[in-house]
Structure 1
Amino acid sequence: MTDSTYTPTDRLKPVTDNVWIVDSGPFRAMGVLPLPVRMSVVRLEDGGLLLHSPTRFTPGLLAQLREIGTPRHLVAPNSAHWTMMQDWQKALPDATTWGAPGLRDRRQVRASGLRLDHDLGGPEAAGWPAELEQVDVPGIGGFHEVCLFHAPSHTLLMTDLIQNLEPEKMPAVTRPLLSVAGNLAPDGRAPSYLRAVVRMKGSPAREAARRLVALTPERVIFAHGAWFESNGTARLTRALDWLLRDEAAPKAR
């Protein structure tokens, strides 16, 4: 049986100065596909921690986090990566929670009772860490993924706009479908359905993609699969070529 995760799971792993990742999962996409999932952690200039796309909560992981700083920010960067937030909120009631535009209006989110203190993607609210730049990549149907650029470390944080799933970690029966969807390593991109959602937004989405490349990140961390540990700008450009080069995509009304 294949193991889709990046062990050890639910533990801090250093990336560069003031940046860590936490690998977790597997998350069962559509109840079937075992996806690895990843949280990014940034230590801010004031010593606080920002948890980007929080994964499974464990008391042991919280203890590790407290050894490196004080968790102060919880970020749900798109419409899919919020389901683990409530466990973290219960453990960290004083942490500020941030959500992608429109997330608070989604039926499932309202029904869950998730508290969102601020929306991402617009004018940055008071209290947002100055060292993290937001880039909102929009799509049709209310989709948004807000990417974060940590300027001091030249690290870009994303979630689903790149999925780079390693074939050997995926069940053999799923590999042909994942190949067709376009999110198998080493040339992983967003899955085909998500590419369509974003492409149909037209020029606002393309401009956001150009902004991401213009940040010239050294590394790109995302939620599913083998992240880009080096040569980040070139690999990001390749992974977003479907959007950067798509001048003919219609703009959604």
Structure 2
Amino acid sequence: MAEATYPPLDVLKPVAEGVWIVDSGPLRILGMPLPVRMTVIRLSDGSLWLHSPTRYDADLHRAIAALGPIRHLVAPNIAHWTFLKDWQTHCPEALTWAAPNLRQRGQVRRSGLKIDRELADASPPEWDADLRQIVVPGGLGFREVAFFHGRSRTLVLTDLVLNLEAAKMPALLRPVLRLAGMTAPDGKPPPYLRLVIKLRRAAAARAAADLVALNPAVVIFAHGLWFAQGGTERLRRSLRWLGDFS
């Protein structure tokens, strides 16, 4: 269902100086068509950092490579890794970075995915001059690593905000999505993920407060209508299920 996505698909779209997105999908999750998004950032050394890579496309690869060498492939939580192996095959010099606990998943081990480094609470030397990272914890092994690009005041999330446009979804699903709080303008993660994160509520709320305190102008995430303006206030509203961050 192409209308669930944000065409044109599988092409670079500029967001800010040194920041691009790639819209792709839809993925089908429990029968729901879900748009998906990758973020590309050019680091100060000229190399490229790919957050939650979407499906591999040769033309897209060439367009990204024209911006600089692809050096980092990032799996920011335990759910966003499906397309990494194809990018690894075509970018053999890139390091693959994964959220804590991803490498322990049986499905990941069986896939043959190579994980070079695990993401920690602090940014590694490879990008600490460009990106600050914050780990948002949850129960059952869930971790999401958020990244803040200070020069452009762009916050890059994955599933911590899900902001689907009801009009883009199948009509029968719209009431369910609205009831679940997953629709624009202040979308939240699906109820099951909120429950998982609330298993570590105090720590997750502290991390969420840190994200709001970054005062982002722009907030990008993997699914739905990202916050191109008014990022801080819109983020605050979308995270109200974790606390009041005013």
- With the shorter chain as reference, the TM-score category is over 0.9
5+ unaligned residues in a row in structure 2: which ranges?
none
Q: Could you tell me which residue of structure 2 aligns to residue 6 of structure 1?
A: 6
Say which structure is richer in helix. Answer: 1
Equivalent position amino acid for 1:158 in 2 = L
Give the letter for the 2:112 counterpart. Answer: G
Q: Distance in 2 between matches of 1:192 and 1:160?
A: 12
Q: Deviations over 1:62-92 (max 9, x none)?
A: 0100111111100000011100000000000
Which is worse superposed, 126-135 or 44-53?
A: 126-135
**Match in the other structure for 1:23:** 23
Residue range with higher mean Cα deviation, 217-226 or 189-198? 189-198
Could you say which residue in structure 2 is the equivalent of 1:73? 72
Q: 1:71 to 1:129 in 2, by over 3 A?
A: farther
Structure 1: which 4+ aligned runs deviate by more than 2 Å? 121-130
Counterparts of 1:244 and 1:26, CA distance in 2:
31
- 1:16-50 C-alpha deviation (Å, 9 max, x unpaired): 100000000000112x1100000000011011010
Taking the aligned partners of 1:132 and 1:91, their CA distance within structure 2 comes to: 25
Q: Structure 1 stretch 119-128 or stretch 47-56: which is displaced more?
A: 119-128
In the superposition, the TM-score normalised over structure 2's length comes to 0.96
Amino acid at match of 2:53: P
Q: TM-score, normalised by structure 1?
A: 0.94
Q: Is the 8 A contact 1:100 1:144 kept in 2?
A: yes
The number of aligned residues is 245
Q: Aligned letter for 2:240?
A: D
Structure 2: how far apart are the matches of 1:44 and 1:110? 30
- Would you say the 8 A contact 1:100–1:119 is kept in 2? yes
Question: 1:44 touches 1:129 (CA, 8 Å); kept in 2?
Answer: no
How much is the aligned-residue C-alpha RMSD, in angstroms?
A: 1.4
Match of 1:195 in 2: 194
Please say if 1:223 is aligned against 2:222: yes
